Amino acid sequence: MRGPISGALLLIALTLLAACYPIGAPPTPMPEPLVPTPLPASQATATRRPAPSSTSPSSVAPEVSATSAAPVRQGQRTDMRARVGVGLPLGAIGDYDWSQGLPGWYLNWRVMVSPPQPAGIRFAQMVRIHADGFRPALDVITEAARANPGALWLIGNEPDVIWQDNATPEQYAASYGTLYGAIKAADPTAQVAIGGVSQPTPLRMAYLDRILAAYKTQFGREMPVDVWNVHAFILREERDSWGVGIPPGMEVDRGQLYEISDHADMAIFERQITDFRRWMAERGLRDKPLIVTEYGVLMPESYGFPPELVGQFMTDTFDYFLTAVDPNTGYPADENRLVQAFCWYSVADTVYATSNLFDPETRAITLVGEVFQSYVSQLP
């Protein structure tokens, strides 16, 4: 939900670069009403799923052979940590003490020619979309593509949300076509991902169907997407209400009318992911990887989301992402896993702080951050 990701990984390990400079406007606080203004009459309590019989991440298979759509290129070996990413709203990735819990990749909602990559952590580029085009300028994008061969490129951040990239399906398709061609010309090895919709609900999937149709109309061929990408929040879909509203260009007033207490419900969370993988399979896209480039708990603690619950939600979702498979809809090149990589929101944010891994002012690790480091440090 951050203003300037949502989301990613799938990057070839590059030489460690000490110098970096961001391109485009820095992230700014968001105006959207994600958190309801009035305090609920009765405090919400998010659903907590009982821990699986074996919750230790060390029980996950240690290595996976993968194609270019998985965390690394075909023929390379990868570990589970390479799948775990974080969103970085503030500062540089090296500003925080990760101890033994350094994630495998990160994003900061920007295009960077020289992204910091301490200890080989990978960086996902992101171009921002708007109704009239995109930012930064195309020459900056192609410079970054040439400087970072094999990078993952996220084209947009929540184009379905009016206070994020706010593009109709037709506007998004036009910008995507221009960017896909330019990035691939500058770096044929680049992996280009569609921008993540805020949540994979029926309404948002209908929005994506319109993007696919618009692209075919405008460019005369099927839309080329190397990597499919969604965000995985659980928020209300209702015009002029809290949540993520109605996607631009969609002539409805309501979608999923989630309540505050649904925000960290694992049953809903899992259903959204399985529904989206089914949507992909039904459109002949099963042979593409799926990444979740933004999710977490945005509601404040006072609404029933204390650190203990957020930590449990994190553990449950990590377990799910690393182990969930489906022989009919999963990605065949990754042992039929549903999701190939995922990104926690966020490292440290002053706007939506409930899921912070570190304090944005002191950089001290939070209770949620301790859960993250403990989990990731045990991954093979």
Please check the confidence at residue 29 and state whether its pLDDT lies above 60. Answer: no
- Residue 36's pLDDT band (cuts 50, 70, 90): low
- Residue 12's pLDDT band (cuts 50, 70, 90): very low
pLDDT at 2: 59
- 362: Cβ–Cβ under 8 A, 6 or more apart, which residues? none
Considering the entire predicted model, what is its pTM? 0.86
Task: In whole angstroms, give the CA distance from residue 263 to residue 214.
Answer: 32
Average of pLDDT values for 316-339?
A: 98
Q: How far is CA 117 from CA 15, 150, 270, 369, in A?
A: 8, 14, 31, 20
pLDDT at 79: 84
Task: In whole angstroms, give the CA distance from residue 235 to residue 237.
Answer: 7
Please check the confidence at residue 232 and state whether its pLDDT lies above 80. Answer: yes
- 10: Cβ–Cβ under 8 A, 6 or more apart, which residues? 68, 69, 70, 71, 72, 122, 152, 191, 227, 289, 291, 340, 341
Please check the confidence at residue 257 and state whether its pLDDT lies above 80. Answer: yes
- Residue 184's pLDDT band (cuts 50, 70, 90): very high
Structural domains in the chain, sorted by start: 49-377 (3.20.20)
Please check the confidence at residue 302 and state whether its pLDDT lies above 60. Answer: yes
Tell me which of 47-56, 220-229, 233-242, 254-263 is least confident: 47-56
pLDDT at 4: 36
pLDDT at 66: 29
Task: In whole angstroms, give the CA distance from residue 216 to residue 350.
Answer: 41
The share of the chain scoring above pLDDT 90, in percent, equals: 78
Q: What are the φ and ψ backbone dihedral angles of 208, each rounded to 5 degrees?
A: -65, -35
Average of pLDDT values for 193-214?
A: 98
Residue pLDDT, tens place only, 356-370: 999 999 999 999 999
- The dihedral built from the CA positions of residue 240, 243, 247 and 248, taken in this order, carries a sign that is positive
Task: In whole angstroms, give the CA distance from residue 160 to residue 166.
Answer: 6
Q: What are the φ and ψ backbone dihedral angles of 207, each rounded to 5 degrees?
A: -60, -45
- 81: Cβ–Cβ under 8 A, 6 or more apart, which residues? 102, 103, 104, 376, 379, 380
- Residue 26's pLDDT band (cuts 50, 70, 90): very low
- The dihedral built from the CA positions of residue 239, 25, 263 and 195, taken in this order, carries a sign that is positive
- Residue 189's pLDDT band (cuts 50, 70, 90): very high
Average of pLDDT values for 116-134?
A: 96
Please check the confidence at residue 44 and state whether its pLDDT lies above 70. Answer: no
- 7: Cβ–Cβ under 8 A, 6 or more apart, which residues? 85, 87, 107, 124, 126, 154, 157, 196, 229, 231, 291, 292, 293, 294, 343
- Residue 5's pLDDT band (cuts 50, 70, 90): very low
Please give the distance of CA 7 from its chain centroid, rounded to a whole number: 3
Residue found under tokens 């702080």: 353
Average of pLDDT values for 132-138?
A: 97
Please check the confidence at residue 21 and state whether its pLDDT lies above 90. Answer: no
Closest CA to 192 of 287, 282, 126: 126
- 4: Cβ–Cβ under 8 A, 6 or more apart, which residues? 24, 25, 26, 27, 28, 109, 110, 128, 157
213: which 2 tokens?
């149709």
